[in-house]
Structure 1
């Protein structure tokens, strides 16, 4: 490269460097001269610029005296969709704090400091706002005690439960199905804010839209009669009226009781190990004696109810024992003795019948193995009538037996008893009754429509299909065809 070219190149480099420096200097000077201001956003949209953000907070707090008085707070804050950013600019028209406040009042709601609890229930996000965390804690405590005796709860929490010696129960675990998160935050005054434990407890037990219904106790009323008249079971009544400890509690004439159907906003769960003595009902059998006249009919062996001691594990959700009870072990305390009725076998026409035992099939047999547990009775439940009993404890896949001889009229999913029953069998009996066996394991039925079955014949396996909460057998007894002109009866009544 020639010397002239080198000089020219160096000269141009120097000129460019000088220009860059000058540009940087003036740009820096402009930046230093730019005014420090605050840009205000509501819902992501800029609503103006302020010289001083502190004055805006002062105006909000001074003008919102009504909010401060209503919620008994000392400070009111901007809307939750409010954002303020410090920036630098010049030639910007500034707003006054009053102008920004007016826009804020038109667009959004102001907030106050409190605690926000959130959780998911049935895939829906639930939010509970309180000003004082003690309100939330107390309401949760009240909610829990609606479903469990205070003594049981306290003993569990203090680890002072007594060990089981012969019979009794121990709570093994206690929790909520939902994961509850609670944190401090700013709450819009347009949202629901629970200010006391009573209103929050009512919300947790009865839901957001439930109008509390009351009933005045009259002479002759019992917890059972009031519950039945208002489509509740006694357990739901006790939840709504925690002052009463059991279904046998005495009512006072003139008292106001709560007859609102509960709609819990949380699911309180506890797992139990219990050892209890359960009765095993005796069966009624018939024998014929050819030496007796045909009109002879006498109970020759009195029936004796057996007793079995069961060690079982089960789960309780919001006061309701769930299906799927696990029987850990069982010991017979007293053997059952079946009642035997002897009838005359001699016929005056010259014939007679055999003296051997004959099972006529006219008495009902139990539809599951024994021992078993009834987890839900023939009663109102969750606002609808549960028209049967739920039997559990023998395990998923255990056999289901026909309770009485008859003809199978349905063996499928749903069918005449509906999809909530899952896979089921319906049997028509000669005495006008029908029996329903629901929630069987899919396609486990061993009988088909038209089959003639005998009492005690295996017809399927215990399962958890349809609307079901754990493996169990729903046994329903109807006089007439189920849901087509027939009516249900308490299944336990046929065993009495």
Structure 2
């Protein structure tokens, strides 16, 4: 028993002796001030001098200073340095900690970050979807770079002179006819703040590159075309699935579409896909022709091959004031706010023989340019706001007619049978009607507010079939009129209404 007690006492004495005499443990006799370095929450180690560590980052990253023209380089965004007091002598060299982070996370420099916030879903280059409220951030060296880039982007759609005149309040006032820009703005919310930006980001150093990025939605090299003798911009645009407006936006060096091109000129034929929406509203006053009516006088004593114009028709003139909203160069909405008659039209009177034929005595509107086989589908005045052309890289297979007003009447352009009716307003075409005219032609009426006919119903030329609206994928009240030779989307060929059944 005494032996066990003696052994226990000896164990305690030895332990105490080891404690006071020390073992091979790195503890300082006094706590020392050091800095714990963290990267993204993980401990990297202790260093003696925070100042020396930060100066080393700045010194060692000389290449970054030269690349961006800055005086100082800062630690990565996830780096945190905290002062602590410890007895631990396991202190690392500042160089060792620097080497452990330099290839893990990007360093930072002073710059600016622009934040673009969208109110609606935006699709860039057909594959990049930006959801509402989710910002796009762009890094740059100065806030003036963004301001200049936004100006260049707006000028691409509006024109530098027009934009300068608007900003300087030097636009010519409208006397009889003319136009004036009322407002210019971006649809998105754009803010710019100063701060540290990651050198892993694309950091724009000039407004030219940034304006290209805002215009095309990418930094990829854009497709170009070298002109040949005798070519024109219209042909180049069509060959590259662009409309002439898109081509000229991408090539501001050309101010007119009918410019004479020399051989060897480099033309940008990339499809624009803007990151921002340039909106401008303008008031335009212009004179438009009012199409005359044709009245037939039936002469029962003459054969049906007789036709004589007894009164020559003359178009009238109306002066219209229209308020137009453009988004990235395309008409988004158009409202005719005022109409003034300058000259009344003179109706054409035609005497025709009806011997061995039934008398009709009908009266109808000429279509534009006097095509007597087809009637115009809307009331007058009207404005064609988008034509049969390439638009956003796809063929716009019809014409858009605006300015007649919401729920204004839509008429059948010729006799026929209602081939198809779509009542689903959520589809891209919205409420729509298709009429088979029995001669190989089918006409299409889209984005309607109301449908007044049924599938299989026989309709007459100029019969009211619908009301103008903005259902489906539509930016404002208008009628999309399509003309097909054969069944639409089933082997039929889309035709330009202004070249096939009208001259407009």
Offset of residue 428 of structure 1: 0.7
Q: Does 1:332 align with 2:345?
A: no
Distance in 2 separating the partners of 1:131 and 1:360: 62
Q: 1:487 to 1:300 in 2, by over 3 A?
A: farther
> Residue 150 of structure 1: which of 160, 175, 182 is its match?
160
Match of 1:98 among 76, 95, 99: 95
1:303-336 CA-to-partner distances (Å, cap 9, x unmatched) read 323321111111011111113x111111122223
**Secondary structure at the residue paired with 2:222?**
coil
- Write out per-residue CA displacement over residues 56-112 of structure 1, whole angstroms, 9 at most, x where no aligned residue: 111111111222232232221111222222333333632221122112113211112
* C-alpha contact 2:182 2:280 (8 A) present in aligned 1: yes
Matched, 1:322 2:332: yes
**Structure 1 residue 438 corresponds to structure 2 residue 435:** no
**For the structure 1 residues 259 and 481, does the alpha-carbon distance in structure 2 shift closer, same or farther, using more than 3 Å as the test?**
same
Q: Summarize the Cα distance change of 1:85–1:413 in structure 2 as closer, same or farther, 3 Å threshold.
A: farther
1:269 partner SS: strand
In structure 2, the CA distance between the partners of 1:431 and 1:337, relative to structure 1 (3 Å rule), is farther
Asked if 1:190 is matched to 2:196, the reply is no
Pair 184,360 (structure 1): closer, same or farther in 2 beyond 3 Å? closer
Root-mean-square deviation over aligned CA pairs: 2.4
Alpha-carbon distance in structure 1 between the residues aligned to 2:178 and 2:313? 28
Contact 1:36 1:51 in 2 (8 A): yes
SS at match of 1:87: strand
Q: Does 1:36 align with 2:39?
A: no
**Within 5 A, what are the aligned runs for 1:454-493?**
454-493=460-499
Alignment pair present for 1:164 and 2:174: yes
Asked if the contact 2:293/2:363 (under 8 Å) is kept, the reply is no
Is the alpha carbon distance of 1:288 and 1:62 closer, same or farther for their aligned partners in structure 2, counting shifts above 3 Å? same
Contact 1:288 1:357 in 2 (8 A): no
Matching residue of 1:271: 281
Q: State the distance in 1 between where 2:365 and 2:196 align.
A: 74
CA displacement 1:360-404 (0-9 Å, x = unmatched): 996222222211221111111000000111111122222222122
Q: So what's the TM-score if we normalise by structure 1?
A: 0.86
* Pairwise CA distance, 1:480: 1.3
Provide the rounded CA distance (Å) in 1 between the counterparts of 2:89 and 2:483.
83
Structure 1 unaligned regions, length at least 5? 1-32
Give 1:172 shift: 1.2
Residue of 281, 292, 308 corresponding to 1:298: 308
Shift in Å at residue 481 of structure 1?
A: 1.2
CA shift in 2, pair 1:337/1:52, >3 Å? same
| Corresponding residue for residue 15 of structure 1 | none
Is 195-204 or 173-182 further displaced after alignment? 195-204
Q: Equivalents in 1 of 2:458, 2:358: separation in Å? A: 25
Residues 356/62 of structure 1: CA separation in 2 closer, same or farther (3 Å cut) = closer
The answer as to 2:428 corresponding to 1:420 is yes
Match of 2:437 in 1: 429
Q: Confirm whether residue 78 of structure 1 aligns to residue 78 of structure 2.
A: no
Shift in CA distance, 216/93, structure 1 to aligned 2, threshold 3 Å? same
Counting only pairs closer than 5 Å after superposition, residues 59-78 of structure 1 correspond to structure 2 as 59-78=56-75
Does the 8 A contact of 2:111 with 2:139 survive in 1? yes
CA distance in 2 between partners of 1:336 and 1:207 (Å)? 49
Cα distance, 1:225–1:299 mapped onto 2, change above 3 Å:
farther
Aligned counterparts of 2:190 and 2:66: Cα–Cα separation in 1? 30
1:495 aligns with 2:467: no
Structure 2 vs 1, CA of residues 43 and 495 (structure 1 numbering), >3 Å: closer, same or farther?
Answer: same
Matches within 5 A, 1:85-124: 85-91=82-88, 93-121=90-118, 122=122, 123=131, 124=134
1:240-292 residue CA offsets vs partner (Å, 9 max, x unmatched): 00011122233222211111111111111011111111223345565432232
Task: Call closer, same or farther: CA 1:372–1:294 in 2, change over 3 Å.
Answer: closer
Structure 1 482/226 Cα, relative in aligned 2: closer, same or farther at 3 Å? same
**Per-residue deviation, 1:115:** 1.0
Give SS of 2:102's match: helix
Aligned-partner SS, 1:146: helix
Q: Which residue of 1 aligns with 2:27?
A: none
Check whether the contact 2:364–2:375 (CA below 8 A) recurs between aligned residues: no
Q: Say which structure is richer in strand.
A: 2
For 2:42, the equivalent position in structure 1 comes to: 45
480-489 or 378-387, larger mean C-alpha shift: 480-489
Between 267-276 and 87-96, report the one with greater CA deviation: 87-96
SS at match of 1:495: coil
In structure 1, the partner of 2:218 is 208
Q: What is the CA-CA distance between 1:357 and the residue it aligns to?
A: 4.5
Maintained 8 Å contact 1:288/1:353:
no
Aligned length: 456
- Secondary structure in 2 matching 1:151: helix
- 44-53 vs 292-301, which moves further: 292-301
Greater shift in the superposed pair: 220-229 or 357-366: 357-366
1:346 alignment partner in structure 2: 355
Shift of 1:341: 4.2
